[in-house]
């Protein structure tokens, strides 16, 4: 039991360390070199599959009747979507501008949807998990629409028109973010017993997340190792992720405070699905931008750890 508790308490650093170790072990075993193209294709399939399953298991735990749209949802959606579009404008008009990579990293940090684990943290901090889950569903819709619309304009693929790029990205993002919720709702009404059974397995999402994070970190390390960008650019991306994390927690809490929902709004805007951010980085943007997702994992989990520590101290009084 102590080992299980240790693994649960330290899943983030263990998963990140495993991702780094697995990458360097794999690339330094000579006889595995011919398998690299196959492994890359498999990771491209496994990663979105894990994200889909995590979302599906999380939404199977949700009672649709408990979902509560509220005013702060609209303001947070406007921040995420608005900042994403505003950051994209300089890249659209000046595609070769200096520092464009940093803007891409900031775009990823702001458009990334709320983490699947956010309701758990929110509940522990005394927030409204139902409202946060409602926001998670809404922001997934926003991301599924905005990313296919904006990314082909700021990061066009050679030889592909806007409509082709839009269709390709939409085909990858839309099912990944929205189908888990739709499937969970359909199961709930058509096969309630199966839905209830799957809902009992919601903790499996935690372990899927650990595997997905390790794979994502391995791909991030690969992007860093093979990147043509300097150390300072990569350090800049780490700094951008820190600033983005601080700003989103701050403004989420500030807006939530006006509606008596400081904790839920802060977690909704600040705690991110960083596995998805890493996947979007190396799939749709300049691959090295995936580093922002890896560092954002560290920053938002540091904030969460501090908040949980304060909450435990408060409960002990």
Query: Got the DSSP string for 220-241?
Result: HHHHHHT--S-HHHHHHHHHHH
Whether the CB-CB separation of 145 and 84 falls below 8 Å is answered with no
Contact in structure between 277 and 114 (CB atoms under 8 Å): no
pLDDT in tens, 253-272: 999 999 999 999 999 999 99
What does the pLDDT look like over 155-189, one tens digit per residue?
887 776 788 888 888 888 888 888 888 898 899 88
**Is 60 exceeded by the pLDDT of residue 1?**
no
- pLDDT tens by residue, 59-93: 887 777 777 788 999 999 999 999 999 999 999 99
Alpha helices in 94-203 (DSSP H): 100-111, 118-125, 129-154, 162-190, 192-199
The span from the CA of 310 to the CA of 120, in Å, is 16
Q: pLDDT for 128-156, tens place per residue?
A: 888 998 899 899 999 999 999 999 998 88
Q: What pTM did the predictor assign?
A: 0.84
């Amino acid at each position: 039991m102590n080992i299980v508790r240790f693994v649960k308490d330290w899943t983030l650093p263990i998963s990140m360390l495993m991702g780094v170790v697995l990458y360097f072990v794999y690339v330094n075993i000579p006889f595995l070199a011919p398998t690299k193209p196959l492994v890359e294709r498999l990771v491209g399939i496994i990663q979105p599959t894990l994200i889909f399953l995590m979302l599906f298991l999380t939404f199977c735990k949700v009672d649709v009747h408990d979902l509560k749209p509220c005013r702060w949802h609209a303001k947070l959606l406007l921040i995420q979507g608005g900042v994403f579009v505003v950051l994209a404008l300089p890249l659209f008009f000046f595609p070769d501008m200096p520092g464009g990579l940093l803007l891409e990293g900031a775009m990823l940090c702001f458009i990334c949807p709320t983490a699947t684990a956010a309701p758990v943290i929110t509940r522990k901090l005394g927030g409204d998990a139902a409202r946060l889950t409602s926001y998670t569903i809404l922001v997934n819709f926003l991301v599924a629409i905005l990313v296919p619309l904006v990314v082909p304009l700021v990061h066009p693929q050679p030889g592909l028109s806007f409509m082709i790029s839009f269709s390709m990205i939409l085909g990858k993002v839309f099912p990944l973010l929205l189908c888990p919720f739709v499937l969970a709702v359909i199961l709930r009404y058509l096969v309630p017993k199966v839905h209830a059974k799957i809902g009992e397995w919601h903790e499996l999402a935690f372990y899927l997340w650990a595997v997905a994070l390790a794979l994502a970190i391995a791909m991030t390390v690969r992007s860093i190792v093979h990147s043509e960008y300097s150390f300072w650019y990569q350090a800049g991306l780490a700094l951008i992720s820190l600033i983005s994390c601080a700003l989103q927690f701050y403004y989420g809490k500030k807006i939530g405070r006006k509606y008596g929902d400081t904790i839920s709004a802060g977690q909704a805007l600040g705690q991110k699905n960083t596995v998805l951010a890493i996947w979007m980085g190396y799939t749709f943007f300049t691959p090295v931008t995936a580093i922002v997702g890896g560092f954002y994992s560290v920053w938002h989990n540091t904030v969460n750890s501090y908040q949980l520590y304060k909450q435990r101290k408060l409960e002990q009084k």
